[in-house]
Amino acid sequence: MRIAVFDSKPYDRQALSRANTTQQYELVFFEDRLNQQTVPLAAGFDVVCPFVNDRVDARTIAELARLGVKHVALRCAGFNGVDIAAAKQHGVAVTRVPAYSPEAVAEHVFALLLTLVRKTHRAYNRVRDGNFSLDGLVGFNLHGRTFGVVGAGKIGQATLRIARGFGMQLLAYDRSPDLKHAAELDCEFVPLERLLAEADVVSLHAPLFPETRYMINADSIAAMKQGAVIINTSRGGLIDSAALIDALKDGKLGGVGLDVYEYEEGVFFEDLSGTALQDDMLARLTTFPNVVITSHQGFLTDEALANIADTVIGNVAAFAAGRPLSNAV
């Protein structure tokens, strides 16, 4: 099997090469993202392996099928960038990585959250400049606060377990509540409206579908507590960035931690330090002292990368052997 790995970075190459030692597939790595312009690179391959910001739309799928590609092996959980109906129409299998060390993303939630509520990013910069003043660095305890998770799947549950360790009160919203885990976590499943109204911290873990796009908007932010903190490590499109900026300007929100951004394609994962940032909205977000942005790195641990690579190679092996695809989309 020949596999074309798109939007690849050095850490992808290392992890996939290690996972491939037992199968010995031919891996060819491209830095380009897979889309209508780059799909000719897939000529001669059996499988393509795109990442979260690749655009595998209907035209790209049709061209992949024409080139003889039979399998789109995503190396991420989200599949909103793939036209699933077109893939079925052209007989192209699509698999994903539904879970990869949920703890990696859950721990990153708290890296962002603790940075915000204890203002360690500002303290770090001050100390480097020889400023040891504590003025303006007053934070708040997590213990005793209410932590709300929107989307209580594996990552959401891992996040709730950490929040419980901090002594927080737990609320969760999910379209299909897992009441067994709710009892184990001492977590209450509530309607989204109540969660937004009561949570001091709202952590987003929902998938991006048409019905969840902009679930955090001007109205939902207005319904939140004054000074609430929003953390998004899931999908950028869950938040209306324009409404978020308005709420930050008004002082409605106490802090925002973003590991994803709705227009991150072509920006996140890239070194743009030598050029002017062309996205005015993202540039504005970076100016707020109570906003912390990371470049979609919640998955970036040794353990998560190994899990992702193992699952991708396993999905390809199952497809090559004609076995049922347990991770099919």
Q: Which residues pair with 27 in a beta bridge?
A: 3
Is 118 labeled as catalytic in the residue annotation? no
Is 296 labeled as catalytic in the residue annotation? yes
One of 75, 205, 235, 265 is an active-site residue; which one?
A: 235
Dihedral pair phi/psi, residue 256, rounded to 5°: -140, 130
SS3 label, residue 185: helix
Q: 290 with 116: CB under 8 angstroms?
A: yes
Dihedral pair phi/psi, residue 239, rounded to 5°: -115, 135
* C-alpha pair distances (Å), 245 with each of 76, 109, 115, 116, 251: 28, 20, 19, 17, 10
- Secondary structure (DSSP) of 162-173: HHHHTT-EEEEE
Residue 324: how many other CB atoms lie within 10 Å = 7
H/E element, 102: helix 102-118
Which candidate, 149, 242, 238, places its Cα nearest to that of 199? 149
Is 235 labeled as catalytic in the residue annotation? yes
Dihedral pair phi/psi, residue 218, rounded to 5°: -60, -40
Dihedral pair phi/psi, residue 68, rounded to 5°: 95, 10
Dihedral pair phi/psi, residue 59, rounded to 5°: -65, -40
One of 33, 75, 262, 264 is an active-site residue; which one?
A: 264
Give the residue numbers marked as catalytic. 235, 264, 296
